[in-house]
Amino acid sequence: MLRSTRVITPEGTRAASVAVAGGKITAVLPHRTEVPAGCRLEDLGDDVLLPGLVDTHVHVNDPGRTEWEGFGPATRAAAAGGVTTLIDMPLNSVPPTTTTEALDIKRAVARDRVHVDVGFWGGAVPGNVPHLRPLHEAGVFGFKCFLLHSGVDEFPQLSPAELKDALAEITGFGGLLIVHAEDPHLIEAAPPATGPRYTSFLASRPRAAEDRAIAGLIGLARELDARVHVLHLSSGDALPMIAAARREGVRLTVETCPHFLTLTAEEVPDGATEFKCCPPIREAANQDALWQGLADGVIDCVVSDHSPCTADLKVGDFGQAWGGISSLQLGLPAVWTAARRRGHRLEEVVRWMATAPAQLVGLGHKGAIEPGRDADFAVLAPDETFTVDPAGLHHRNQVTAYAGRTLHGVVRSTWLRGVKIADHGTPTEPTGRLLERQRTV
Ligand SMILES: [Zn+2]
């Protein structure tokens, strides 16, 4: 049993005791409930008990690019940061997850090494339409595709015709397509990024490229009555059209990322390519629009897009450096720090980072503190601060755009199915399981 004066449940925050048996939450009881004989009590005092976060956008890169990241270090970072479930992206690993054979290889590599529960996205690439249904049957949570070069040659983008074919197939079996939405023609027409100036990189990835790609996806989702999810939304300009499409009943969901909500183009120093990602971190005014999108419920989820590489690939030239930001361990404090400054409540952060992502991937037993769900928790001291020291991060290459920042919210401990998996930032043994899409969604 875990007890706190502040337990975040779907009905709000209250003092409660959460009963756990067999890895599940069995009841949310009054705070001063008598503890049954033989039951252990963990009294958390005034620290907040919230559901373990569900991060549906993580690049583990294992096997194949394990010098970039791996199931061990990535899931240790997750556990230390209060994340209890992650869904691994299908690219940057070799092989990419575009066939069931590749999925089997990933699962074999991950098994027994993961500190949190891990599921897998499949990939939609040119020529693999016949593999999509088998991957779906094998339990992937949906399919990722690109509309322009992905950054790695073994995961090519779809042409407009291939996109439509893949989406028709996926819709046929009730699946979900998740899309890196930037229009290739507008990116090609933009001035290429060169040199150490962030303004050059920003100009090479205009908002209009995202806006046009999303407009195309809305049209396709409407035409095929398909479920489409927009990954890592950065352009605030796309929000009105997304809101309109959703009002009309188009089945479109949207995520954004901690870096878009907490970092701005104006503050990126010259040569600081640890801030490079695609689409890019944009101006402060654009960030305000994204926060408004969250407040309005137009953006559903906040997930990390943790995408590390080795330090040597973060060269000082924005045209040459690998694009990706590592934040798996820091997402909760980073988002909470900005959210509280803007007057948002911790309950909202929990909805964006746990409940909504779990719902996106149909994990009905994750993402909330209520009876019947897994006893996955993060224990947070929301008013305490710490300064980010890259040496304290568990992901493989300790490069981070958050180095030196002072953040609110210290994760005291993390619990997976009722067992403590991280204590004051130190992960314990790997007890995570591999997840499959639930059949009864
Ligand atoms: Zn990504």
DSSP per-residue codes, 136-153? HHTT---EEEESS--SST
How many angstroms separate the alpha carbon of residue 140 from the centre of ligand 1?
Answer: 17
DSSP state, residue 352: I
How many angstroms separate the alpha carbon of residue 306 from the centre of ligand 1?
Answer: 7
pLDDT value of position 441: 41
Residues with CB under 5 A from ligand 1 (ion): 305
pLDDT value of position 348: 98
Whole-model pTM over 0.85: yes
CA distances for 376 relative to 2, 63, 79, 282, angstroms: 11, 27, 11, 34
DSSP state, residue 407: E
- Mean pLDDT per 10-residue run, the chain (441 residues)? 98 97 97 92 98 97 89 96 98 94 97 97 98 98 96 93 98 98 96 94 97 98 98 98 98 98 96 94 98 98 90 82 89 98 98 98 98 98 96 85 95 98 96 89 41
List, in order of start, the domains of the chain with CATH numbers: 51-369+383-394 (3.20.20.140)
- What is the side-by-side strand order in the sheet with 83-88? 53-58, 83-88, 117-120
Residue found by looking up tokens 């490079």 in the block: 276
How many angstroms separate the alpha carbon of residue 328 from the centre of ligand 1?
Answer: 12
How many angstroms separate the alpha carbon of residue 267 from the centre of ligand 1?
Answer: 23
Task: List the beta strands (DSSP E) in 238-317.
Answer: 252-256, 301-302
How many angstroms separate the alpha carbon of residue 99 from the centre of ligand 1?
Answer: 19
How many angstroms separate the alpha carbon of residue 231 from the centre of ligand 1?
Answer: 8
Pair of tokens at residue 393: 């991060």
How many angstroms separate the alpha carbon of residue 307 from the centre of ligand 1?
Answer: 6
Q: Give the whole-angstrom CA distance, residue 152 versus residue 441.
A: 33
How many angstroms separate the alpha carbon of residue 229 from the centre of ligand 1?
Answer: 13
How many angstroms separate the alpha carbon of residue 207 from the centre of ligand 1?
Answer: 18
How many angstroms separate the alpha carbon of residue 24 from the centre of ligand 1?
Answer: 31
How many angstroms separate the alpha carbon of residue 108 from the centre of ligand 1?
Answer: 22
